[in-house]
Amino acid sequence: MELPVWFEITTFVGLTVLLLADLAIVARRPHEPSIKEASLWVGFYVSLALIFGVLMLAFTNGTYATEFYAGWLTEYSLSVDNLFVFVIIMARFQVPRKYQQEALMIGIIIALVLRGIFILIGAVVIERFVWVFYIFGVFLIYTAVNLVKHRGEDEDYEENAFIRRMRKILPITKDYHGAKIRVSENGKKMWTPMIVVILALGTTDLIFALDSIPAIFGLTREPFIVFTANVFALMGLRQLYFLLGGLLKRLVYLSLGLAVILAFIGVKLILEALHENQLPFAGEREPIEAVPHIPIWLSLSIILGVLIVATVASLVKTRGQLASAGPPDIDPETAKSVPTGGPEAAAAAEARIADESGEERSRR
């Protein structure tokens, strides 16, 4: 069954209006959201995603709706992992809290545009070369292994090449000027450190997309579902950043859960490639029916189950810790020693944030 064109157009228009309205609200009044405000926005965006899945069920079929929910859950969990790295970036650049919301919003919009380009490229490649699933599958399994290996690992941080280049070619002021990214200083137009923060957030998320986009294509081949799942996962991430606060320090097993999910989807991709039985050097061949096909409902069940187990295990492990509101406080010097290059970096950041939380408790 084809997705109705009117449904796709209406969705894109609605999401665009929603994102622009969200950006306008943030730009008009930069501030640090209260617990109530952040909770209401996160609840709104999660409810919106759940309702959208119901609409897909009503206007298309159960398979598309299940694919959306599986993709959204996967992307949302990976987006939560992004927050560990976002915390490190904000601490490293010492962004004032009242301006962090605007930086996050613009960074997320940049990430959405870049992810949209990735999704279009991925859809074209998969349509023509099904065997690319072998590459995606191996890559996801490799990423899963690295997620486990890099937990708690100390690494010397080095900014990605794009950010280093921007620092060299852009005249940047020493201090922040509110949430502005460009100001006039001594009669000369200058960029503020905010531009580097926004670019760091956007490009870091792009690196995460190198893992998350292949992962969701392992759950659905519909570009529309892939893109909407990404949009719904990233919408509300800004408010979630402020809502989680101390709870982020307690999700000590999240990266392990994500490693299991990525490894599972990697295996699923390889099995699908084997089932299709198409190779670039072998011509058209008959599918191998003996290779098992993992249904989407089972994928959704496994993803949901792993996330629940990882969350519960994390909360049990860190029981007794109080979860405060607001973004976790990370020492800027500590932040400088943590990499920000993707899911593997998030695993290192996750452990570092938890360690710093433990040191704070011992000092008290």
Residue-by-residue DSSP string for 271-298: HHHHHHT-BTTTBS----TTS----HHH
pLDDT higher than 70, residue 285: no
Q: State residue 221 phi and psi, 5-degree precision.
A: -105, 5
| Confidence class for position 305, pLDDT limits 50, 70, 90 | very high
Reported confidence tier of residue 337, pLDDT bands at 50, 70, 90 = very low
Confidence of residue 327 (pLDDT cuts 50, 70, 90): low
Does the pLDDT value for residue 50 go beyond 90? yes
Would you say residue 186 has pLDDT above 70?
A: yes
Handedness of CA 120, 51, 101, 18 (dihedral sign): positive
SS3 label, residue 63: helix
In terms of Cβ atoms closer than 10 Å to its own Cβ (0-12, 13-18, 19+), residue 283 is exposed
What does the DSSP 8-state code read for residue 175? S
**What are 84-110's pLDDT values in tens digits?**
777 778 877 888 877 888 888 888 888
- Mean pLDDT for the stretch of residues 167-193: 82
Cα 173 to Cα 189: distance, rounded to the nearest angstrom? 10
Q: Could you please report the per-residue DSSP string of 73-141?
A: HHHHHHHHHHHHHHHHHHHHTT--HHHHHHHHHHHHHHHHHHHHHHHHHHHHHHHH-TTHHHHHHHHHH
Residue 9: per-residue pLDDT: 93
Task: Name the least confident of 109-118, 202-211, 259-268, 352-361.
Answer: 352-361
Q: What is the pLDDT of residue 14?
A: 93
pTM of the model: 0.77
CA pseudo-torsion sign 330, 75, 205, 149: positive
d(CA 234, CA 78): 10
